[in-house]
Amino acid sequence: MNNFDVLLEKGRNFHGEVCPGIVIGTRIAMAGMKELGMNPGERNRDLMVYVEIDRCMADAVQAVTGITMGHRTLKYKDYGKFAATFLDLSTGKAVRVSAAENKREPPKPGEKNDNNRPDMKKMVEALSKVPEEELLLIEEVKVDIGEHDIPGFPKFKTHCEECGDRVLDRREVIVDGRTLCKACAEGSYYQKI
| pLDDT (tens digit per residue) in 119-156 | 888 888 889 899 999 999 999 999 999 889 989 999 99
Given a cut of 60, is residue 21 above it in pLDDT? yes
Give whole-number Cα distances, 12 to 31, 63, 159, 179, 191, in Å: 18, 9, 41, 43, 35
Query: Is 13 exposed, middle or buried, given 0-12, 13-18 or 19+ CB atoms closer than 10 A?
Result: exposed
User: Which residues lie below 8 Å from residue 187, measured CB to CB, with a gap of 6+?
Assistant: none
Main-chain phi, psi angles of 39, to 5 degrees: -105, 125
Contact, 17 vs 59, CB < 8 A?
A: no
> What pLDDT is recorded for position 118?
73
Given a cut of 80, is residue 103 above it in pLDDT? no
Q: What is the mean pLDDT of the chain?
A: 90
CA distance 24 to 134: 12
Main-chain phi, psi angles of 97, to 5 degrees: -115, 125
> If we measure between CA atoms, which residue out of 121, 101, 135, 103 comes closest to residue 28?
135
Running DSSP on this structure, what letter comes out for residue 106?
A: P
CA distance 72 to 66: 12
Reported as a pLDDT band with limits 50, 70 and 90, residue 112 is low
> What pLDDT is recorded for position 95?
98
Q: What does the angle CA 66 – CA 72 – CA 76 come to, to the nearest 5 degrees?
A: 85
Structural domains in the chain, CATH included, are 3-141 (3.30.1330.130), 157-186 (no CATH)
> If we measure between CA atoms, which residue out of 43, 69, 57, 44 comes closest to residue 15?
57
